[in-house]
Amino acid sequence: MNNHITTTSPNRYARIGGVTYLIIIAAGLFGEMFVRNAIIVPGNAAESANNIMASPLLWRIGIAGDLIMHIGDVVLMLMLYVLLKPVHKRLALLVVLLNLIQTAVLVANKLNLLLPLFLLQDPDYLKVFSPEQLQALAYIAVRTHSYGFGIGLIFFGAVCLVEGYLIYASGFLPKAIGIMMQIAGACYLINSFALILAPKVASILFPVIMIPPFIGELSLCLWLIIKGVNVEKWKERALAMK
């Protein structure tokens, strides 16, 4: 077993994890910034519905991109577990479990994005509703998705806090990235609980409070791709692991 540890380069996992992380970030930005933000008009159900029906394929591509992102989440969980397990096995497992909950919540939440398509495509069994009612229901589904996303990020905020500690304590990844990931986790938690408890405050905070998470996650992603881990220190931790 020890021989297997010492002959397997952790940077293979680091590079796979880093590239996967980059795909996750790109897919997430595409779905949120270039699809939903371009189509949904805040507070205007009718115009949002018209935009969805004018670009149904783009709407579906955004959903598909999100699902690709969540497949990537699972791959990244495995890569980071392998890398961080030598620091503290139970905490690394806790990161995986919290991340699985987050991903499960976000995947189920995609049904809320499919619902507007079902409501707005004018099937016969919806004739009992007026167009205005269907538009309102579609908009409620989109709003529900934004809250479901916030709930999922509560678990991801916890992931970032624990993951940040493991990175900081590792000795084979930069302490600064560990600190940035913990700041990211705190920002996610503040934003998500504000969304639930004080939505108006959350709408004010959101543009600013999401900057530290973006910087922290992108820093970790690029470090894994470009630098990887300090192999000797990682192997020392791995060999010392009981």
- HSE, side-chain direction, 13 A CA sphere, residue 240: 10
| Residue pair 46/132 in contact by the 8 Å Cβ criterion | yes
pLDDT higher than 90, residue 240: no
Which tens digits make up the pLDDT trace of 213-238?
999 999 999 999 999 999 999 999 99
Report the percent of the chain where pLDDT is more than 90. 88
Mean pLDDT of 128-151: 95
pLDDT higher than 50, residue 1: no
CA dist list (Å): 235 to 81, 86, 228: 15, 8, 13
pLDDT higher than 70, residue 51: yes
**Nearest CA-CA partner of 153 in 89, 91, 204, 217:** 217
More confident residue, 204 or 124: 204
33-64 in b/e burial notation, b at 16+ Cβ within 10 A?
A: eebbeebbeeeebeebbebbbeeeeebeebbe
User: Residue 122 has what pLDDT?
Assistant: 73
CA distance 177 to 31: 26
Amino acid (one-letter) located at 156? F
At 7, the pLDDT band (50, 70, 90 cuts) reads low
User: Residue 242 has what pLDDT?
Assistant: 59
